[in-house]
């Protein structure tokens, strides 16, 4: 089992910044993918940014140039620096880790942290 503890959400005005953190604990493999997804009311959950344990990032087009993902493997922690926030970034942000197992890996999710961007 893997546990994920998120922090850093909140209310911010458009154009502002927030930093999300997510610490993983439990049966974490050294090779994994950690990152962030988000879900706005009435919409499906979507990828925001993920990063492999080797440091390779992948971003949604909507956040490229504004969000930066990073991770500290020694602390099993992933960060999401969000700059130039827009009202459309308002959503619950979920931390995710995918570890080896089954056919396509095993996914674990955090409980989510709410980000609200006011106009």
- pLDDT the model gives residue 44: 97
Across 92-114, average pLDDT: 93
Beta carbons of 16 and 117 less than 8 angstroms apart = yes
The pLDDT score that the predictor gives to residue 30 is 79
Mean pLDDT estimate for the chain: 95
Q: Let me know if 64 is exposed, middle or buried by CB neighbors in 10 A (0-12, 13-18, 19+).
A: exposed
Q: CA-CA distance, 50 to 81, in Å (whole number)? A: 12
User: Residues 46-91: pLDDT tens digits?
Assistant: 999 999 999 999 999 999 999 999 999 999 999 999 999 999 999 9
- List all residues 6 or more positions away from 43 whose beta carbon is below 8 Å from its beta carbon: 91
Residues 111, 98: contact at Cβ < 8 Å? Answer: no
pLDDT of residue 43: 96
pLDDT (tens digit, 9 = 90+) per residue, 11-54? Answer: 999 999 999 999 999 988 878 999 999 999 999 999 999 999 99
pLDDT recorded at residue 100: 87
Total residue count of the chain as it appears in this document: 119
Ramachandran angles phi, psi of 71, nearest 5° = -150, 155
CB 58 within 8 A of CB 36: no
């Amino acid at each position: 089992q893997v546990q994920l503890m998120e922090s850093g959400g909140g209310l911010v005005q458009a154009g502002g910044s927030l930093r999300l953190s997510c610490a993983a604990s439990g049966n974490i493999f050294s090779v994994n993918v950690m990152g962030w997804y988000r879900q706005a009311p009435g919409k499906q959950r979507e990828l925001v940014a993920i990063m492999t344990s080797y440091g390779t990032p992948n971003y949604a087009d909507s956040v490229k140039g504004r969000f930066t993902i990073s991770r500290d493997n020694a602390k099993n922690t992933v960060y999401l620096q969000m700059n130039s926030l827009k009202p459309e970034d308002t959503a619950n942000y979920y931390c995710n880790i995918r570890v080896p197992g089954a056919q396509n890996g095993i996914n674990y999710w955090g409980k989510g942290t709410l980000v609200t961007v006011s106009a």
